[in-house]
Amino acid sequence: MLVQPIAANAPVANDPADAEAVASLLDQLYRAWGDADAYASLFTEDADYIAFDGTHTRGRSAIAESHRPLFERFLKNSRLFGESSSTRFLTPDVALIHSKGAVLRAGQQRPSRRRLSIQTVVAVKQAEGWRFAAFHNTRYQPFTQTLLGKLLALAGLAPGS
């Protein structure tokens, strides 16, 4: 297989319908939360899925099976809160998405600071439409909420102060 380099920040002309389809795919991911089969159906057959704790799952069926017990017990009646922070088309058929989000437990209106996550997601265009080929989720803590960030803010040395 020949791999051609992609110039950094090279603009890729993309169809507005594809941009809308990728945004819709991410929205479908949030709506499918709680249903292991619906959630996994948004991924390619051979997708790579890395959870916030580093657990690596490969394949659509494994993604469904790894989420099923979570949705039935630990995350029952939870919902996924999220938003895309950027989407960049690397080629007309490959999109790189960065999003932020968190799991909201039943009755929770705002995400816990301890559960804030950022995702790097790769979506690919296939015959059946856009699907996620790779998903990497990790926890993050905004700098202003870290001990160092708070100390620098008190000293007037924090970025933006």
Does a structural domain hold residue 144?
A: yes
List, for the chain, all residue ranges whose pLDDT scores fall below the cut of 70.
1-13, 143-146, 149, 158-161
Does a structural domain hold residue 128?
A: yes
Q: Kindly report, residue by residue over 36-65, the tens digit of the pLDDT.
A: 999 999 999 999 999 999 999 999 999 999
Per the structure, the count of domains in the chain is: 1
Does a structural domain hold residue 2?
A: no
The residues that bridge with 50 in the sheet, in sequence order, are 56, 136
Residue 70 belongs to domain with CATH number: 3.10.450.50
Whether the model clears a pTM of 0.85, i.e. scores above it, the answer is no
Does a structural domain hold residue 78?
A: yes
Listed in sequence order, the residues at least 6 apart from 80 whose beta carbon sits closer than 8 Å to its beta carbon are 29, 30, 33, 101, 102, 103, 104
For residues 53 and 79, give the distance between their C-alpha atoms in angstroms, rounded to a whole number: 19
Domain range holding 75? 16-154
